[in-house]
Chain A
């Protein structure tokens, strides 16, 4: 076969050389590329028709030679409509003219046409999507190579906004490729978008190199949520993490927006505002572990039908235990927030005040870093966050500002404040900060004799309150252990927590009390009888051996409310730490948290003494533990 083709080519070569010398006409084929079985129009244009007796056409393909006679004559043009064979070939053609006056023949040039080509066949579709939403839509379109050679293709979207798979490649002859189209762009409802998916191919047929796979028309109605963002992904436990996203919609009514967080010890559902395009809130990381924003559900009404859009962001925040802490204290006299950070390394502190981001200068005072930030007089959150060179997490705290003009109900992390009418003479901005009290903040803020069972809340304003607000604080039921009569309100005065004069009202797991601005928390007050000696039920040290400078905590269980005195001795008998206080008749009073930094490695003894008065310890217990840093 190959040898025969070579012979034909040699023949054609010689004939061509010869014919150039004696060329009498020009032969053309149209189209030059076509499918087998299709008709090709072959035209021979002669230089002159004088003396022409006859014109015939020789067709060479594969090993065959085929001659066409009886052309249709139009002036100097001799035309054949040739139906190509069902088998694909490359064809070579040349005309041969004979004359009346001479017996010699004259030849034309050699032209070619081919049915051995790659050729695409696509059933293009038009898709109309009137409602734009986040849910990714996909469409499938088939393209077939109906030719006899591999079809090379490249897929693209115009304008960009569609993802097409596969993006490029080959389709073997008579094979079908399935193209998957999906939305990859962000389309805002309110507009009409036309997105076309095309294939560029090597199909040689005229005008057949580009195929429309599908034309997708989307909009203008719809509901679209931007990707959810979180402010931090790794934080110190107790930090606030802001999360937010934008909701764009057209011709729909938003009914509700829920965000579901999975927490290390349960879950939390946020009911978010439906009136703003930018939706955001703050989750407080009260426990060590992973917090996961698992679902966002948006309920909406479209053309009278209630529907839901569910998103699964699966964003995670890791809350880690830390030696570093941050405390915020809101000033009642000015729009200032005091920042105090406990860290052995220099913190890099910034304030995120609305859209402004400002660096805060910190001054080292002993083991703490302190600074002040003057925040803007506009409602909204203010986030103070700190980063450190020596750890891979951040600390973040957020407080909120509200403009109060008349009656107001202001919610925060673990409760709400009811502000009656005429509390302020004029519209006033108040700031509210709710914080979980860390062990270090107890000590920093003068913690003593205060068994807290709630977060602390601070209400600050630059103008005086003419009436008391009603605070509603949720308390930790498991920590109260049924001792509801022991619940009291504690108030931060200066740097000491003092028993407040406010009378608490307990309802379910919420305590309500009236007070003006200040910092408040709920605690349990012991009711100690001097006539009854307490017994130690258990004294637990966790962990018994600390490595890598993790804190050691000391828990005490007693059979009745009492005073305690904890002393920690080293092996030389020196008192290296101590704590006095009151313990409640409940399981596991956390007496003390020992930060082992600064202590020599080795074994220590914790001695706990309990008694009915602070000066009389009637029972004691000793336990060993070790520090191995």
Chain B
């Protein structure tokens, strides 16, 4: 069975790796970044909109905000999202703004509307995305995701940027279509720790992460991620999670290509979540 699964994964990698995916900032959460990006199988509430829309069904109503200093602050990313529940139906929305700060005029916006539904131990979600920006006329895509719980394990399957098309303000105006991204993820939950992993088969991203709660208020986080392209990019990440009343504060620091560059291009993440329901 394992051999068969491995063969399937290898096949998927071989046919979809280095596909023409949207060049966007796709990992805005500090919690995710500290976990090597592996939160696709989590019901993470409002921040799940950037990962797996099915993760919206966490029985909370939240507002989430993150700020990222990417590549030593050359590029910044702001992400704001929110969610609320209507029975088993969850509705959310997100706005993302990516921009450089090195005297280069370029920016990119992404607006997302989300719906998710929980049935027993499974949930399903859908994102509808639109793009805008200094060089983008318009754009559209759809994300589909699911999370299934089995004992202490969660499994997730996500298809991102389905039917994606972006019209760029080039001359002549050029509408470009992109390949969908197929993401598989799994997580193991234990009272003393959480382990998770994910693979974006289309863009060549593979990450693992661990969440070690030291007490109800404080967790330490760690992760490792590689991205496969012309060269392999390696990232070691550390972080912490502080939960206080209705607030969650996550901070992540990533050592990116640290063996070559030290910490000179390492990203810094901070994100905060406010839960209106106080957690259930």
Q: Do the two shown chains form a genuine complex with each other?
A: yes
Chain A contact residues, CB within 8 Å of chain B = 544-545, 547-548, 565, 567, 569-578, 599-605, 607, 609, 617, 619-620, 622-626, 628-629
Q: Least Cβ distance of A102 to chain B in Å?
A: 106
Which of A567, A605, A622, A628 makes the CB contact (< 8 A) with B231? A567
Interface: B108 (CB within 8 A): yes
Closest CB pairs A-B (n = 4): A602-B23, A624-B100, A574-B229, A600-B23
| Chain A residues near B247 (CB-CB < 8 A) | none
User: Can you list 26 A-B pairs with a CB-CB distance of less than 8 A?
Assistant: A544-B104, A545-B106, A545-B135, A547-B171, A548-B171, A567-B257, A569-B233, A571-B25, A572-B203, A573-B235, A574-B203, A574-B228, A575-B232, A600-B21, A600-B22, A605-B71, A609-B261, A617-B262, A620-B264, A620-B265, A624-B75, A624-B102, A624-B104, A628-B170, A629-B170, A629-B174
Closest to B20 in A: A600
Closest to B231 in A: A575
Given contacts A574-B229, A626-B135, 7 further A-B pairs with CB under 8 A are A572-B26, A572-B205, A603-B108, A622-B74, A622-B102, A622-B265, A628-B168
Contact between A603 and B100, CB atoms less than 8 A apart? yes
| Chain B residues near A617 (CB-CB < 8 A) | 260-262
CA of A544 to CA of B25 in the docked complex: distance in angstroms? 19
Q: Least Cβ distance of B118 to chain A in Å?
A: 29
Q: Least Cβ distance of B84 to chain A in Å?
A: 30
Which of B71, B135, B205, B262 makes the CB contact (< 8 A) with A622? B71
Interface: B72 (CB within 8 A): yes
CA of A547 to CA of B135 in the docked complex: distance in angstroms? 10
Please encode chain B, from 57 to 76, with 1 for each CB lying within 8 Å of some chain A CB and 0 for all others. 00000000000001110110
| Chain B residues near A574 (CB-CB < 8 A) | 203-205, 227-229, 233
Q: Least Cβ distance of A626 to chain B in Å?
A: 5
Most chain-B Cβ atoms within 10 A of its Cβ — which of A569, A574, A576? Answer: A574
CA of A569 to CA of B254 in the docked complex: distance in angstroms? 15
Q: Least Cβ distance of A617 to chain B in Å?
A: 5
| Chain A residues near B203 (CB-CB < 8 A) | 572, 574
Closest to A578 in B: B231
Q: Least Cβ distance of B243 to chain A in Å?
A: 28
| Chain B residues near A604 (CB-CB < 8 A) | 23
A601-B230 in contact given A607-B261, A624-B106 (Cβ < 8 Å): no
Interface: B246 (CB within 8 A): no
A607-B265 in contact given A623-B102, A624-B106 (Cβ < 8 Å): yes
| Chain B residues near A599 (CB-CB < 8 A) | 23
Query: Which residues between 6 and 64 of chain B lie within 8 Å of chain A, taking CB atoms?
Result: 20-27
CA of A548 to CA of B166 in the docked complex: distance in angstroms? 16
Q: Least Cβ distance of A539 to chain B in Å?
A: 10
Contact between A573 and B106, CB atoms less than 8 A apart? no
CA of A578 to CA of B231 in the docked complex: distance in angstroms? 8
Please encode chain B, from 96 to 109, with 1 for each CB lying within 8 Å of some chain A CB and 0 for all others. 00101010101010
CA of A625 to CA of B229 in the docked complex: distance in angstroms? 19
| Chain A residues near B257 (CB-CB < 8 A) | 567, 607
| Chain A residues near B218 (CB-CB < 8 A) | none
Interface: B256 (CB within 8 A): yes
Q: Least Cβ distance of A443 to chain B in Å?
A: 13
Most chain-A Cβ atoms within 10 A of its Cβ — which of B25, B26, B235? Answer: B25
CA of A423 to CA of B40 in the docked complex: distance in angstroms? 73
Interface: B88 (CB within 8 A): no
A573-B233 in contact given A600-B20, A605-B74 (Cβ < 8 Å): yes
Which of B26, B72, B176 makes the CB contact (< 8 A) with A571? B26
| Chain A residues near B267 (CB-CB < 8 A) | 573
Interface: B169 (CB within 8 A): yes
CA of A565 to CA of B260 in the docked complex: distance in angstroms? 9
A603-B233 in contact given A569-B71, A573-B256 (Cβ < 8 Å): no
Please encode chain B, from 145 to 182, with 1 for each CB lying within 8 Å of some chain A CB and 0 for all others. 00000000000000000000010111100101010000
Closest to A625 in B: B104
Closest to B72 in A: A622
CA of A617 to CA of B258 in the docked complex: distance in angstroms? 10
Most chain-A Cβ atoms within 10 A of its Cβ — which of B98, B166, B178, B265? Answer: B265
Contact between A629 and B168, CB atoms less than 8 A apart? yes
CA of A31 to CA of B176 in the docked complex: distance in angstroms? 90
| Chain B residues near A626 (CB-CB < 8 A) | 104, 106, 135
| Chain A residues near B261 (CB-CB < 8 A) | 607, 609, 617, 620
A628-B100 in contact given A573-B227, A576-B229 (Cβ < 8 Å): no
Q: Least Cβ distance of A347 to chain B in Å?
A: 25
| Chain B residues near A603 (CB-CB < 8 A) | 23, 75, 98, 100, 106, 108
Which of B106, B135, B166, B230 makes the CB contact (< 8 A) with A575? B230
